[in-house]
Amino acid sequence: MAESADGAGLYAPDSWLKEGRGPRYLQLSRHLAAAIGSGTLEPGAQLPAERELAELAEVSRVTIRKAVAQLAADGLIEQRRGAGSFVRASGGPRLEQSLSTLVSFTENMRARGRAASSVILSRGVHPPSPEESVALGLGPADPVARIARLRSADGVPMALEHSSLPADILPDPARVSTSLYEVLRASGTAPTRAIQRVAAIAISAREAEHLSMPEGAAVLKIDRTGYLATGRPIEFTRGLYRSDIYDFVTELRLDI
């Protein structure tokens, strides 16, 4: 029989802590990963709360936070806002999003039967940065609307998105609660095509905290410039997507 997720013996330091085997958080995360792989921690099992786990493992809460974040980055557990950390079923399903179809995060999650949500990190109207001026064809006096959001599905943090649009396209960023594209479609200013550039980068400490990942973990950075049918660029979005959850795919065809 698999040991309960709250079994004290599983988390006691004499079951996982070894001298010279690396940082404590990494040893603990490896130990729990092995427990998940062996079935000792079954799919759906909930880990003890951070404070309780720190007491059981006899380490600091910072160590626990880093160990749990590593398990989340490895796709072994999912962290549900307000509920806790749970073992994924078979490492959890990965999400695929086509790079060939222009859909929003909300539409992509809705198509998969998942509830999308957003936390607004910042928004406002500002003078454009040099990067925004180039991407959107703006002059130094042309204001730009900015909105930064933490995107989640079923309470699990998925992505950080920073979007910039000319202020005449989005005069009031406060209109955006969840889906930017739904707001743009309502005003007839949604992009009809986009160019995306994808790269892998190491995440910063602040970004890692938002996405429940360890600092320095790899994420997918996608810069997207969206255009109206007239050819005018009206959206520049930089997104950081969890590489342990997301797969971006594209279809290639032989041009004959």
Per-residue confidence (pLDDT) for residue 162, from 0 to 100? 96
Q: For the domain 8-89, what is the CATH code?
A: 1.10.10.10
- At 55 the pLDDT is 93
Where residue 78 falls among pLDDT bands split at 50, 70, 90?
confident
Averaged pLDDT, 216-244 = 90
Least confident interval from 77-91, 99-113, 119-133, 176-190: 99-113
**Average pLDDT for the chain:** 83
Backbone angles phi, psi at 72, to 5 degrees: -65, -40
Q: Domain residues of the chain, as ranges?
A: 8-89, 95-249
Query: Is a pLDDT exceeding 50 seen at residue 1?
Result: no
Which pLDDT score is estimated for 4? 41
Give the Cα separation of 35 and 26 in Å (integer): 14
More confident residue, 26 or 163: 163
Residue 45 binned pLDDT confidence (cut-offs 50, 70, 90): confident
Has residue 31 got a pLDDT over 80? yes
pLDDT value at position 126? 96
Residue 99 binned pLDDT confidence (cut-offs 50, 70, 90): low
Q: Mean pLDDT across the stretch 12-29? A: 87
Query: What CATH superfamily classification does 95-249 receive?
Result: Chorismate lyase-like (3.40.1410.10)
- pLDDT value of position 3: 41
Higher pLDDT, 96 or 21: 21
With cut-offs at 50, 70 and 90, classify the pLDDT of residue 211.
confident
